[in-house]
């Protein structure tokens, strides 16, 4: 599995993140075991706040609109929706969330 992270500079002030700042994360992945494992890992990190997990376009859009995460970790091989279409819809909605894809 490879993870590509894009444009997360806004989350830190220089090279060190503020200790009290947590990063809100939404996980989008179809494979339940991977999704649960990643959510568990993120829940154990002191600087992450797991906002939710989803597998379908509508779920992702609802979570992002309501919770305003900092990052969406997106499965690049989704079959329930086109990942590129999902990112485009987030951008069209003006969502300031950053997206990272996993292959």
Tens-digit pLDDT string for the chain (103 aa): 334 444 444 554 444 444 568 899 999 999 999 999 999 999 999 899 999 999 888 999 999 889 988 888 888 888 888 888 888 888 887 777 666 666 5
* Number of domains forming the structure of the chain: 1
Domain residues for the domain of 74 are 23-102
> Is the pTM higher than 0.85?
no
For the chain, the first-to-last Cα distance in angstroms comes to 6
Residue 79 lies in a domain: yes
Residue 1 lies in a domain: no
Instruction: For residue 88, give the 3-state DSSP assignment.
Output: helix
89 in Cβ contact with 61 (< 8 Å):
yes
Residue 51 lies in a domain: yes
CATH number at residue 56: 3.40.50.2300
* Helix H or strand E segment including 56: none
- Given this model, what pLDDT does residue 20 score? 61
Q: Report the alpha-carbon distance of residue 78 to residue 90 in Å, rounded.
A: 16
Residue 90 lies in a domain: yes
Residue 6 lies in a domain: no
């Amino acid at each position: 599995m490879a993870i590509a992270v894009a444009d997360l500079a806004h989350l830190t002030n220089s090279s060190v993140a503020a200790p009290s700042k947590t990063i809100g994360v939404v996980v989008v992945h179809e494979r339940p075991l991977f999704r649960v494992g990643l959510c568990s890992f993120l829940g154990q990190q002191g600087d992450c706040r797991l906002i939710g997990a989803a597998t379908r376009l509508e779920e992702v859009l609802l979570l992002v609109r309501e919770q305003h995460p900092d990052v969406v970790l997106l499965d690049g091989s989704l079959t329930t929706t086109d990942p590129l279409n999902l990112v485009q819809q987030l951008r069209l909605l003006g969502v300031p969330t950053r997206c990272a894809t996993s292959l």
